Amino acid sequence: NAGVMQNPRHLVRRRGQEARLRCSPMKGHSHVYWYRQLPEEGLKFMVYLQKENIIDESGMPKERFSAEFPKEGPSILRIQQVVRGDSAAYFCASSPKHLLTDTQYFGPGTRLTVL
């Protein structure tokens, strides 16, 4: 059973470009969470999605950031017009349900560098 897949693992963008990060949850998992980790810090929640629905985007910046989890295909985190402050590691996690006891399993992360 493959784990959570994220690609690319490393992404370099120039200021003003778009960054598109992909996440394929574990098989059988329909709940996806995105987190951001700045250097030497813990992870910060960004958004929680189920198939075709954004459930909670309270941690996502209001502008330039968007997320989707289509019926077919991976979840996508999109950052438009990137700035240097967007440089971070972005982690996706998935769980089979949304119960309190459900462990969130993390992907390897995408390390975004904005030049």
Residues that bind other proteins (CB under 8 A): 33, 35, 40-45, 48, 55-56, 58-59, 89, 91, 93, 98, 100-101, 103-109, 111
Output the CA torsion 86→88→94→95 (10° steps).
Answer: -100
Residue nearer to other proteins on the CB measure, 15 or 51: 51
Vertex 3 angle, CA 98 and 24, to 5°: 70
The nearest distance, CB 1 to other proteins, in angstroms, is 14
Residue nearer to other proteins on the CB measure, 86 or 95: 95
Q: Which of 67, 70, 57, 1 is nearest to 30 (CA)?
A: 70
Residue nearer to other proteins on the CB measure, 50 or 81: 50
Tokens of 3: 């784990």
